[in-house]
């Protein structure tokens, strides 16, 4: 059986999204900046896609900028807020220790340019609090950026509460909603969100298309310089097929959100129950306050990479953290921020489901995984020491 359980890394393009893209390759291929009819037909597609995103975020179409993905949207959001802050002499930014690298590395770049970042600690349940944000605010704070839902452990952050704290203090609030968009309800008005990033390939849209929402009045800084596309804020001929696919996927995901969550949550909980029944296994992040399809556990005494290879041999595609950190030997910065010791963080496994998964697939994972964990532990010198009491169990 082949099971794709790495939907937090990327998803399959839905049939609806693909159908929306197809005419844009050979029929509606004009450049939306062109004045002729083929160009204007493409411009209409672009405008319709912008309206779709605005509608489901409760925003205005003029507040929607298309980018090449979540990473670019994050970069542009942070750079824009930083520049606006710097003009007022405010160069302090608040974020968290478990953001995606698109945020953390942009903050590192900004620190080299004279900005200062405070990264909030992650409580053991994987949910930062509005009180933490409030306590970190300073007179020179220009931006708070906290992700909507974490990409590794799936925990959902108190976005409306954090937004309210920011707005009370007159500080801009950005959220990286790449894992949340299409999976959780988002309302930029009631949630006090000034800027938001999302990415189509995390909700069955195509790769290479993102959205940056920025509340009216927030002047965006260009990351890509050139032509006047996207109201002058993002140069480059628009990726019309990708944008149309993204909008169709977003509409589909938002329309089916409750149904998908009602389907996924019991599967997620079944996986969590089955996996945490394996001795010396711990769930990462709050059991309920997490994305409907996210499971993330640590198995003591094994290496996540070996686990992934053996799972792959059984047809199961999973992850040990984020796609961006796999391939490096460092354990996940998210699990370390959660307080997991290095040796425990190394034994992590993320299974991220989508509505394309089936209960039979969950049962297959639960049948195979305990055997693989036992097999790896039997071969592990570390496990041997743990079992002989020569080193203490950490979980
Ligand atoms: C995937 C992801 C990104 C990056 O999005 P891309 O479209 O792949 O650039 C950023 N933030 C989070 C939380 C993500 O999960």
Q: What is the DSSP string of 334-356?
A: HHHHTT--HHHHTTEEEEE--TT
| Residue 354: predicted pLDDT | 98
**What is the predicted pLDDT for the residue at 330?**
79
Instruction: Give 266 Cα–ligand 1 centroid separation in angstroms.
Output: 26
Q: What is the pLDDT of residue 321?
A: 66
CA-closest candidate to residue 195, choices 84, 43, 46:
84
Mean pLDDT of 229-235: 94
Q: Ligand 1: does its nearest atom lie under 6 Å from the Cβ of 71?
A: yes
Atom of ligand 1 nearest to the CA of 99: 13
Token representation of residue 288: 């309920």
Query: Residue 271: which of 368, 192, 342 has the closest Cα?
Result: 368
With a 6 A CB cut-off, is 176 part of the ligand 1 pocket? Answer: yes
**Cα–Cα distance list, 349 to 209, 272, 292 (Å):** 28, 11, 17
Mutate to test the pocket of ligand 1, among 151, 186, 212 (most ligand atoms within 8 A of CB): 151
Q: Which residues pair with 120 in a beta bridge?
A: 96
How far, in Å, is the centroid of ligand 1 from the Cα of 171? 24
DSSP state of 287: S
pLDDT at residue 364, rounded to an integer: 98
CB of 297 closer than 8 Å to CB of 346? no
Probe residue for ligand 1, chosen from 13, 68, 70 as the CB with the greatest number of ligand atoms within 8 Å: 70
Span from the CA of 301 to the centroid of ligand 1 (angstroms): 30
What are the tens digits of pLDDT across the range 4-23? 999 999 999 999 999 999 99
Range of 71-75, 301-305, 377-381 with top mean pLDDT:
71-75
Structure tokens, 315 = 């047809």
Residue of minimum CA distance from atom 3 in ligand 1: 70
Whether 178 is in the pocket of ligand 1, judged by its Cβ within 6 Å, is yes
Q: What is the distance between the alpha carbons of residues 197 and 145, in angstroms, rounded to a whole number?
A: 11
Evaluate whether 265 touches 292 at the Cβ level (below 8 Å): yes
> Measured from the CB, is residue 304 less than 6 Å from ligand 1?
no
Integer angstrom CA distances of residue 384 from 304, 365, 372:
18, 26, 16
Alpha-carbon 25 to chain mean position: 29
How does pLDDT run across 250-266, given as a tens digit for each residue? 999 999 999 999 999 99
Range from 30-39, 118-127, 312-321 carrying the lowest mean pLDDT: 312-321
Q: Which two tokens stand for residue 211?
A: 């959205």
Judge whether residue 169 has pLDDT over 90.
yes
Q: Work out the end-to-end distance of the chain between its first and last CA atoms, rounded to an integer number of angstroms.
A: 31
The residues annotated with a catalytic role in the active site are: 324
- Ligand 1 atom nearest to CA at 147: 13
Compute, in angstroms, the gap from residue 385 CA to the centroid of ligand 1: 39
* Ligand 1 centroid from CA 71, angstroms: 6
**Residue 214 buriedness (CB in 10 A; 0-12 / 13-18 / 19+):** buried
The bridge status of strand 348-352 relative to strand 64-67 is unpaired
Provide DSSP, 213-273: EE-TT-PPPPSS-SS-TGGGTS-S---HHHHHHHHHHHHHHHHTHHHHHHHHHHHHHHHHH
Instruction: Report whether residue 300 contacts ligand 1, using a CB cutoff of 6 Å.
Output: no
pLDDT at 49 over 80: yes
- What pLDDT score does 328 carry? 58
Query: What is the C-alpha separation between 93 and 138, in angstroms, rounded?
Result: 9
Token couple for 163: 């937004």
Cα 99 from Cα 386, distance rounded (Å):
33
Handedness of CA 127, 131, 132, 134 (dihedral sign): positive
Is the pLDDT assigned to residue 161 strictly greater than 80?
yes
pLDDT at residue 203 tops 90: yes
Query: What's the average model confidence in pLDDT over 156-168?
Result: 98
* Encoded tokens for 64: 């929607």
Which three-class secondary structure state does DSSP give residue 92? strand
Tokens for 172, please give them. 């801009």
| Span 287-312, average pLDDT | 96
58 pLDDT band, cuts 50/70/90, is very high
Lowest mean pLDDT among 201-210, 281-290, 300-309: 300-309
d(CA 6, CA 211): 22
**Of 121, 185, 173, 183, nearest in space to 147 by CA:** 173
pLDDT at position 331 is: 86
Whether ligand 1 lies within 6 angstroms of the CB of 179 is answered as: yes
The CA distance from 42 to 34, in Å, is 9
Q: Convert the pLDDT of each residue in 302-314 to its tens digit.
A: 999 999 999 999 9
Q: What is the mean pLDDT of residues 347-358?
A: 97
Per-residue pLDDT at 329:
66
Question: How confident is the model over 318-344, as pLDDT tens digits?
Answer: 998 644 445 556 789 999 999 999 989
Distance CA 149, CA 195 (A): 15
Average pLDDT, the chain: 96
Centre of ligand 1 from the C-alpha of residue 199, in Å: 6
Give the number of other CB atoms < 10 A from CB of residue 305: 14
pLDDT at 46: 98
Supply φ then ψ for residue 146, to 5 degrees. Answer: -130, 130
Q: What is the spatial distance between Cα 286 and Cα 271, in angstroms, rounded to a whole number?
A: 14
């Amino acid at each position: 059986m082949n099971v794709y359980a790495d939907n937090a890394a990327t998803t399959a393009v839905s049939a609806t999204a693909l159908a929306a893209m197809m005419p844009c390759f050979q029929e509606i291929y004009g450049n939306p900046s062109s004045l002729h009819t083929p160009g204007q037909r493409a411009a209409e597609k672009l405008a319709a896609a912008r309206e779709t995103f605005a509608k489901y975020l409760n925003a205005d179409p003029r507040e929607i900028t298309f980018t090449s993905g979540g990473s670019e949207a994050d970069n542009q959001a942070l750079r824009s807020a930083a520049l606006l802050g710097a003009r007022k002499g405010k160069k302090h930014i608040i974020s968290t220790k478990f953001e995606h690298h698109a945020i953390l590395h942009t903050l590192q770049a900004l620190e080299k340019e004279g900005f200062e970042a405070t990264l909030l600690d992650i409580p053991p349940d994987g949910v930062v609090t509005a009180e933490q944000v409030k306590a970190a605010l300073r007179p020179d704070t220009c931006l708070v950026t906290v992700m909507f839902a974490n990409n590794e452990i799936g925990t959902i952050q108190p976005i409306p509460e954090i937004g309210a704290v920011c707005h009370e203090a007159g500080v801009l609030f950005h959220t990286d909603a790449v894992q949340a968009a299409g999976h959780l309800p988002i309302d930029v008005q009631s949630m006090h969100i000034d800027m938001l990033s999302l990415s189509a390939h995390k909700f069955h849209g195509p790769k290479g298309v993102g959205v940056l929402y920025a509340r009216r009045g927030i002047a965006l800084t260009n990351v890509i310089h050139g032509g006047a596309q996207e109201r002058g804020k993002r140069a480059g001929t628009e990726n019309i097929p990708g944008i149309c696919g993204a909008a169709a996927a977003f509409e589909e995901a938002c329309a089916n959100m409750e149904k998908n969550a009602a389907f996924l949550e019991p599967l997620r909980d079944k996986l969590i129950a089955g996996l945490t029944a394996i001795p010396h296994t711990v769930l990462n992040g709050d059991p309920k306050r997490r994305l409907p399809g996210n499971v993330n556990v640590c198995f003591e005494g094994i290496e996540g990479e070996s686990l992934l290879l053996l799972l792959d041999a059984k047809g199961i595609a999973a992850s040990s953290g984020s796609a961006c950190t796999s391939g490096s030997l460092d354990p996940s910065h998210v699990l370390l921020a959660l307080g997991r010791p290095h040796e425990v963080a190394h034994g992590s496994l993320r299974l991220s489901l989508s509505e394309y998964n089936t209960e039979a697939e969950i049962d297959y994972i639960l049948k195979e995984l305990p055997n693989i964990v036992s097999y790896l532990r039997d071969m592990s010198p570390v496990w041997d020491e743990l079992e002989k009491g020569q080193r203490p169990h950490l979980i």
